[in-house]
């Protein structure tokens, strides 16, 4: 009995660390609607700065002051980031801020190694909380008790701050309806900055408080960021109580889950999130989001099919690309094939995101399923390559049909997070089911057959399929189905009022996107000759998001350019420097500031400006400007 009680307390201590970080993320999202990918980076910075300060100033005072000062220092960094970077892009399309914070995260990962060195650092134990107290033969670390006590205190303080101060009232009002708060004359700039500072402070505090029990190292951010997102979503976005309850729920399920299934940790949080979201679409304590006032359909330049001249230009571009084998060597051709494959992948996500208005955080699942589809068909059934290429993506299609059915019941960030949960579940199956998938050692020996084995033939194959896929997706955009899909994106209510079955349309779009992603994955398997669970992983899903956002989410096929630029840049940088993350992150941040509509979005704006005779839609002039 004593054991179960102690295990319960241990779970509470884990929950405390998770809650501190999650509460900050929840506050930031609630008010600013920023999906702050850099939250883990601030957590890690908190740990590193606290490590330096507590090493420098010894003694009890030095330690505790070091923790607090470190959190304040990092919060100051957060303020700087918000004022210099994020303020510039509050007007950008939804999720664009994700791209900026993603760039920052990449940079921080390399920066901490440059500043603090590559080795894992061991921080001091907390003075006064070094040992354990005995409880019926079980040891409970006193530091755990400290954390258990701390998190309700923080929760209480936050509650007081939000309920009893004018600032708190404004924050709650902004969480509910920020346009209205702006309309009432509240200075949103400083409200956003202060909220961001508080969120970052909590993240850094969470990191700093880990140093007595963890090692400080450069992968801390990735270790926590996804789990924290999941906790925030389970609790309901913007709800502090929700974050607290979710942190306790997840940690306790883990603490007791490993007693029965020792391998459960790897997937537990995602299983919980999937179940919660299916049962309660806005998390445990969340409320339905107020309908967004600014939908993409109002701000974009109206879409239209290619004109005759542009169509010719596209053909010419394709012809030029097809001539690469005449000038490029084997390496250039393989890189070209890889880029073509990622064009397909990015275009499929772009279709879902900009045409359907459904941002998926787990699109790699269908890419990876396509790749594994090939692996099963080629290695186990021994089918020829053509048959594999046709049938392999069907696994992606099947996965999209199943998961899409549940996902399209939700919207916004909840949709995104449910897709992430499904992707992680698929990933962990590929990772764990060693007998079938080979686990993380993957499936090897999937090389193309003779007719496609040469780099030039494989390049032509990939390029051809990429051209077909992009063209097909464009045709769908301008088909009646495409119009219906755009209607559901722009106004769910109005589209349903005219008799469009929104969920079925969205589900169909999800399946189309998943199948096309599966095609990309299938080609990718043949390009690399092997399949690993990586191809289902979060980092690939994030890469796809980055490509779409970089290209411009409000364009018809911006992802094509986004994929080419991002993939070329990252392949080139990885090959040229060990600091590829720093440079890539820096370039992304610069691009975000320079092209707040994405590369293609900016090009289109410029072109439209040069052609003033085009009548502008009236709606565009009456854009509601928030954050000012």
Partner 1 sequence: MRRRYLLGAGLAVMVAGMAPSAFAQSGEVKIGEINSYSLLPAFTEPYRKGWQLALEEVNAAGGINGKKLVVVSKDDSGKPADATTAANELVSSEKVVMLTGTFLSNIGLAVSDFANQKKVFFLAAEPLTDAITWSKGNRYTFRLRPSNYMQAAMLVEAAAKLPAKRWATIAPNYEYGQSAVAVFKKLMSEKRPDIQWVDEQWPPQGKIDAGPVVQAIAAANPEAILNVTFGADLVKFVREGNTRGLFKNRAVVSFLTGEPEYLDPLKEETPEGWIVTGYPWYDIKTPEHDKFIKAYQAKFNDYPRLGSIVGYQTIKAAAAILIKANSDDPEKMIAAAEGLSMPSPFGEITFRKIDHQSTLGAFVGKTALKDGKGIMVDSVYRNGKDYLPSDAEVSKMRPKE
CB of 455 to partner 1, least distance (A): 8
Based on CB atoms, which residue is closest to partner 1, 47 or 75?
47
CB of 384 to partner 1, least distance (A): 18
Q: Tokens for 330, please give them.
A: 């084997």
Q: Beta strands 530-531 and 443-444: pairing type?
A: antiparallel
Based on CB atoms, which residue is closest to partner 1, 195 or 421?
421
Written as one string, the DSSP assignment of 333-387 is HHHHHHHHHHHHHHHHHHIIIIIT----S-THHHHHHHHHHHHIIIIII---HHH
Task: Please name the residues in contact with 338: beta carbons below 8 A apart, sequence gap of 6 or more.
Answer: 524, 527, 567, 571
- H helix runs in 287-329, sequence order: 296-299, 308-322, 324-327
Based on CB atoms, which residue is closest to partner 1, 219 or 386?
219
Based on CB atoms, which residue is closest to partner 1, 185 or 445?
445
CB of 336 to partner 1, least distance (A): 6
| Residue 493 CB neighbour total at 10 angstroms | 9
Report CA-CA distances (Å) from 440 to 296, 524, 531: 40, 17, 9
Backbone φ and ψ of 135, nearest 5°: -135, 100
What is the spatial distance between Cα 76 and Cα 245, in angstroms, rounded to a whole number?
29
The dihedral sign for the CA sequence 324, 326, 330, 332: negative
- DSSP character for 557? S
CB of 610 to partner 1, least distance (A): 14
Q: Tokens for 142, please give them.
A: 């006193």
CB of 293 to partner 1, least distance (A): 30
CB of 86 to partner 1, least distance (A): 26
Q: Beta strands 132-135 and 138-141: pairing type?
A: antiparallel
What is the spatial distance between Cα 246 and Cα 400, in angstroms, rounded to a whole number?
28
Report CA-CA distances (Å) from 295 to 87, 170, 356: 20, 24, 12
Q: Tokens for 222, please give them.
A: 């990735």
Report CA-CA distances (Å) from 16 to 145, 244, 250, 580: 10, 8, 11, 35
Based on CB atoms, which residue is closest to partner 1, 119 or 620?
119
Based on CB atoms, which residue is closest to partner 1, 500 or 571?
571
Query: Would you say 206 and 20 are in contact if contact means Cβ atoms under 8 Å apart?
Result: yes
Based on CB atoms, which residue is closest to partner 1, 161 or 324?
324
**Please, what's the largest Cα pairwise distance for the chain?**
83
CB of 90 to partner 1, least distance (A): 28
Based on CB atoms, which residue is closest to partner 1, 54 or 188?
54
What is the spatial distance between Cα 480 and Cα 484, in angstroms, rounded to a whole number?
6
Based on CB atoms, which residue is closest to partner 1, 5 or 405?
5
CB of 623 to partner 1, least distance (A): 24
Based on CB atoms, which residue is closest to partner 1, 578 or 625?
578
Q: Beta strands 530-531 and 138-141: pairing type?
A: unpaired
Based on CB atoms, which residue is closest to partner 1, 124 or 172?
124
CB of 14 to partner 1, least distance (A): 5
Report CA-CA distances (Å) from 159 to 51, 53, 178, 239, 374: 30, 30, 20, 11, 53
Query: Would you say 342 and 567 are in contact if contact means Cβ atoms under 8 Å apart?
Result: yes
Based on CB atoms, which residue is closest to partner 1, 77 or 250?
250
Query: Would you say 14 and 210 are in contact if contact means Cβ atoms under 8 Å apart?
Result: no
Beta bridge partners of residue 215, listed in sequence order:
122
CB of 138 to partner 1, least distance (A): 8
CB of 447 to partner 1, least distance (A): 5
CB of 538 to partner 1, least distance (A): 12
């Amino acid at each position: 009995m004593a054991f179960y009680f102690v295990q319960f307390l241990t779970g509470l201590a884990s929950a405390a660390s998770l809650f501190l970080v999650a509460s900050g993320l929840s506050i930031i999202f609630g008010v600013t609607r920023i999906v702050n990918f850099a939250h883990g980076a601030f957590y890690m910075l908190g740990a590193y700065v606290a490590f330096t300060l507590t090493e420098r100033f010894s003694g009890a005072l030095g330690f505790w002051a070091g923790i607090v000062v470190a959190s304040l220092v990092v919060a100051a960094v957060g303020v700087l980031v918000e004022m210099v970077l994020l303020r510039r892009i509050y007007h950008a399309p939804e999720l664009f801020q994700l791209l900026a914070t993603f760039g920052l995260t990449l940079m921080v990962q390399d920066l901490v190694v440059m500043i603090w060195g590559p080795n894992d650092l061991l921080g001091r134990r907390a003075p006064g909380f070094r040992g354990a107290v005995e409880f019926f033969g079980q040891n409970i670390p006193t530091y755990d008790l400290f954390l258990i006590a701390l998190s309700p205190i923080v929760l209480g303080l936050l509650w007081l701050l939000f309920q009893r101060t004018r600032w708190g009232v404004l924050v709650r009002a902004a969480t509910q309806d920020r346009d209205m708060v702006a309309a009432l004359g509240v200075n949103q700039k400083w409200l956003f900055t202060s909220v961001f500072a508080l969120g970052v402070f909590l993240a850094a505090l969470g990191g700093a408080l880990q140093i007595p029990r963890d090692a400080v190292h450069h992968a801390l951010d990735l270790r926590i960021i996804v789990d924290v997102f999941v906790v925030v979503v389970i609790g309901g976005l913007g709800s502090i109580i929700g974050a607290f309850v979710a942190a306790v729920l997840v940690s306790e399920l883990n603490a007791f889950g490993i007693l029965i299934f020792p391998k459960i940790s790897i997937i537990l949080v995602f299983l919980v999130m999937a179940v919660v979201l299916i049962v309660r679409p806005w998390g445990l304590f969340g409320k339905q989001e107020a309908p967004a006032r600014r939908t993409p359909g109002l701000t974009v330049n109206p879409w239209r099919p290619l004109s005759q001249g542009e169509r010719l230009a596209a053909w010419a571009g394709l012809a030029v690309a097809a001539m690469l084998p005449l000038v490029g060597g084997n390496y250039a051709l393989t890189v070209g094939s890889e880029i073509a494959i990622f064009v397909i992948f990015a275009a499929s996500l772009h279709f879902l995101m900009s045409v359907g208005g459904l941002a998926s955080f787990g699109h790699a699942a269908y890419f990876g399923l396509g790749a594994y589809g090939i692996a099963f068909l080629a290695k186990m059934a021994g089918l020829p390559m053509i048959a594999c290429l046709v049938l392999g993506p069907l696994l992606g299609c099947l996965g999209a049909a199943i998961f899409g059915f549940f996902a399209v019941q939700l919207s916004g960030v909840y949709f995104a997070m449910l897709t992430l949960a499904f992707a992680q579940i698929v990933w962990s199956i590929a990772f764990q089911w060693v007998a079938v998938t080979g686990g993380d050692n993957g499936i090897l020996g999937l090389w193309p057959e003779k007719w496609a084995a040469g780099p030039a033939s494989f390049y032509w194959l990939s390029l051809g399929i990429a051209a077909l896929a992009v063209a097909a997706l464009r045709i769908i955009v301008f088909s009646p189905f495409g119009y219906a899909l755009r209607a559901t994106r722009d106004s769910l209510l109005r589209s349903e009022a005219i008799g469009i079955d929104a969920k079925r349309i969205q589900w169909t779009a999800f399946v189309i996107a998943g199948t096309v992603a599966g095609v990309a994955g299938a080609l990718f398997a043949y390009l690399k000759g092997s399949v690993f669970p990586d191809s289902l992983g979060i980092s690939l899903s994030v890469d796809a998001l980055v490509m779409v956002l970089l290209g411009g989410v409000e364009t018809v096929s911006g992802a094509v350019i986004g994929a080419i630029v991002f993939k070329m840049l990252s392949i080139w940088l990885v090959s040229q420097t060990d600091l590829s993350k720093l440079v890539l992150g820096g370039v992304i941040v610069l691009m975000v500031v320079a092209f707040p509509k994405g590369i293609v979005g900016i090009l289109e704006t410029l072109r439209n400006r040069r052609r003033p005779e085009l009548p502008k839609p009236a709606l565009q002039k009456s854009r509601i400007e928030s954050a000012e």
